[in-house]
Structure 1
Amino acid sequence: MSHAVIIGGGIGGLTAAAALSRKGWSVTVCERAPSLEPVGSGIAIAPNALKGLDTIGVGDKVRALAAMQGEAGLRTPDGRWLLRTTAEAATARFGDPTVLLLRATLVDLLASALPSDALRLGTTVHAADPRTGRVTTSAGDLEADLVVAADGVNSAVRHALFPGHPGPVHVGATSWRAVVARPEGDVRGSETWGPGQVFGVMPLVDDLVYCYATAPAGRAGAGGGGPRRKLTRLFGTWHDPIPALLDAAREDQILERDLYCLPSPLPALHAGRVALLGDAAHAMTPNLGQGACQAIEDAVVLAHVTGRASSVDLRPYTAARLARTTKIMRRSRAICRLTLWSNPLAVRARETAMALAGRLGERNALRQFEDVFTWRPPAS
């Protein structure tokens, strides 16, 4: 039986392990953390990723957690709608909803799809040889026909394979994420853009709300204080229900981090027996909500192109994934730059353009996601 070693127990690594296992591979997931405690709070699984999760039997379990209903769209800080659509219209157009759920829930679902002996927690990978497939870990060496590097934005494997490629760069923004209890009143899915700042509100099941925000890094730190104080200072006067959500947020549940992405695509997503996946391959800003979704796509395609063969040729994997992920990575970075506009004239021009697009109708608002959301897994 062919053996695959997956480096990293995040969403991409777990999906790859489940997909390869279904193809008949023996899989070992090396995760340096002592437990699968996902970094992050909420996550968006778009229609393209749901189709990918169908291939490992998890798609319908995620669909059952869909909570978005009614209107959603883009707003200004005073509450004015610039673009509006409905969750129902999006589902009808793309054949599936975008499901917002707890990252921990998705990790649990993916882990449950693995063989019982696949996970090796508390195991740090020191090196992976692309020629032989030998993986050096803190618990000893492993021999692999395929190595999947899903070790994140600061991937040590990526740096070893492509030492001349620039590493991740700071995009100039800080982000915050939190899951809070749903306050009284109207809570609709929305993303609000102000001068250089963004606040997202996404309802979840069980009367929870996933909130996320970004602001220029220097502005976020001005005035000091913890994450909750910073968020209140930056967004406390924005439209309802944002102030109530901030009041409900607990300091220790707010995740604050600076945003990084890869400045340019890699020359390939593989070298020898090693395939790069997810953030290790194409770290992108969160503005399209496609980071985890593209990692899921990577995993499904990788399992498809490798099949059951012990003699692995990863060129079809790069051919299938590099152009698509590069396009999405660049588009997401472009939107990130747009959200950071602070000049009043530029902000006014941005709002005018978006309002015009909104007046052209719901179909126009959804069209921009057509090439992203309509992806389908390769046929067996």
Structure 2
Amino acid sequence: MRVLIIGAGIGGLTAAAALHRTGAHITVLERTPALTPAGTAISLAPNALRALDTLGVGDRIRDLAAWQGDGGLRTPGGRWLSRSDARSAETRFGGPLVLLPRTTLVDTLAALLPPDAIRTNTPATLTDPGDATRPAQVTTPQGELEADLVVAADGVHSSVRRALFPDQPGVEYAGFTTWRLLLPLPGVEFTSHETWGRGRLWGSHPLKDGRVYAYAAARAPKGQRANDERAELQRQFGDWHAPVPQLLAAARPQDVLRHDVHQIAVPLPAFHRGRVALLGDAAHAMPPTLGQGGNQAIEDAVVLAHTRDDLHAYTAARLPRTTAVARRAVRAGRLGMLRGRGTTAVRNAAMTALSAAGPALFLRGFDGIADWRPPYAAQQTTR
């Protein structure tokens, strides 16, 4: 089987590695000059780690990552609303929640492919999705390519999705923007946390290599940008509890990445057409509020490798699940972005009461998500 994969992000590389294991001939087409993943770090839940186990790299990722779960939810003044611990997370879901740099995951996945499988600086355009009697066709600056299967992993603003489903509404602005940082913070110790304010939130998490991954979100008009995004973070979050001020003091303006959040509000009718399959954000872009965007792309990839000869089965397996996860992410985003004084006070009181009555809300949010298992046997892990 000849497979073309458009996009060398986490979903595209996972699909490439999974399909390569089935004996397919893989070519990955990446428009950027190098494998430079967007973003800073990625959280992997047990569902994605079990998918990576099928590629034989799950334990390697567990070893390279910081295990999450210790921490919880706080107010800007530092009061804990909900607490959780890593052992409870591992017991609840049959495995850990981990955090690692995106570059580490990308490098690990790329190493599973033949040296000539990835073509960088190669933008690709779908010109024919193909059907049962003819191959799909893709145009690149180097010429036309044919394939038995095209995997579109070309992101939130996927051109392939628009070509396959031109009548679909596509993505819409979720109503808030995000910032991300990855930087060293020597001498400052803290517990992982996510902090919810009024229409704003912040998260800080230590990585295994000693650096800190931090992210923020706030309601903002679509497309709004500041001349100095670090100064904008200082303005919005500078008086929040430690280690937020210390992180902002250590950051440089060039350390801050900012992106508006977009989501597919109306689910697609299918994740395939002809010989083309959509994967990851191209199929089901969702807010990052559950940290499941990349995880669902990894799930997509291993399922697609299992159903490569029957794309209807791929759609049947993935469309209902990702739609449900995306809807939960939207609801979580609305909850975190509440900004009325009364509504946020009620929200915080309810979260404190619910947390006291049972497992932490942080863990409950992954019920029905993190317990997913691949549709076929994974390699035995050493743990």
With normalisation by structure 1, the TM-score equals 0.95
CA distance in 2, matches of 1:193, 1:365: 13
Partner residue of 2:94?
95
Q: Confirm or deny: 8 A CA contact 1:6 1:13 kept in the other structure.
A: yes
Once the two structures are overlaid, the 10-residue window that deviates more, 124-133 or 158-167, is 124-133
Once the two structures are overlaid, the 10-residue window that deviates more, 255-264 or 20-29, is 255-264
Instruction: Find the partner of 2:335 among 330, 334, 338.
Output: 338
Q: 1:80 to 1:279 in 2, by over 3 A?
A: same
Unpaired runs of 5+ in structure 1? 307-311
Q: Confirm or deny: 8 A CA contact 2:181 2:215 kept in the other structure.
A: yes
**How far did 1:66 drift?**
3.0
Instruction: Find the partner of 1:149 among 143, 148, 152.
Output: 152
**How far did 1:313 drift?**
2.4
**How far did 1:221 drift?**
5.5
* Number of residue equivalences: 373
CA distance in 1, matches of 2:278, 2:118: 19
Q: Confirm or deny: 8 A CA contact 1:221 1:230 kept in the other structure.
A: no
CA distance in 1, matches of 2:326, 2:342: 27
Partner residue of 1:376?
373
String of CA shifts for 1:213-233, please: whole Å, max 9, x gaps: 0011149969x5411101111
Q: What pairs with 1:204-353 in structure 2 (closer than 5 Å)?
A: 204-218=207-221, 224-306=226-308, 312-353=309-350
CA distance in 1, matches of 2:120, 2:65: 31
CA distance in 1, matches of 2:97, 2:295: 11
The code of the aligned residue for 1:251 comes to P
Q: Does 1:200 align with 2:203?
A: yes
CA distance in 2, matches of 1:36, 1:363: 37
Q: 1:183 to 1:199 in 2, by over 3 A?
A: farther
Partner residue of 1:309?
none
Q: What pairs with 1:117-128 in structure 2 (closer than 5 Å)?
A: 117-128=116-127
Once the two structures are overlaid, the 10-residue window that deviates more, 363-372 or 182-191, is 363-372
CA distance in 2, matches of 1:208, 1:361: 32
Q: 1:113 to 1:71 in 2, by over 3 A?
A: same
String of CA shifts for 1:44-74, please: whole Å, max 9, x gaps: 1111000111111221111002324673111
Q: Confirm or deny: 8 A CA contact 2:223 2:260 kept in the other structure.
A: no
Partner residue of 1:135?
138
Once the two structures are overlaid, the 10-residue window that deviates more, 213-222 or 127-136, is 213-222
String of CA shifts for 1:7-30, please: whole Å, max 9, x gaps: 000000000000000011000000
Q: 1:219 to 1:15 in 2, by over 3 A?
A: closer
**How far did 1:168 drift?**
0.9
String of CA shifts for 1:294-353, please: whole Å, max 9, x gaps: 0000000000112xxxxx321000000000000011110111112221110000011011
Once the two structures are overlaid, the 10-residue window that deviates more, 282-291 or 253-262, is 253-262
**How far did 1:4 drift?**
0.6
Q: 1:70 to 1:293 in 2, by over 3 A?
A: closer
String of CA shifts for 1:231-290, please: whole Å, max 9, x gaps: 111111001111111111121111011111111110000001100000000000000000
The code of the aligned residue for 1:261 comes to Q
Taking every aligned residue pair, what percent have the same amino acid on both sides? 53
CA distance in 1, matches of 2:273, 2:146: 16
Partner residue of 1:167?
170
Unpaired runs of 5+ in structure 2? 378-383
CA distance in 2, matches of 1:215, 1:363: 24
The code of the aligned residue for 1:232 comes to Q
CA distance in 1, matches of 2:33, 2:360: 47
With normalisation by structure 2, the TM-score equals 0.94
Once the two structures are overlaid, the 10-residue window that deviates more, 294-303 or 89-98, is 89-98
2:194 aligns to what SS in structure 1? strand
Q: Confirm or deny: 8 A CA contact 1:171 1:260 kept in the other structure.
A: yes
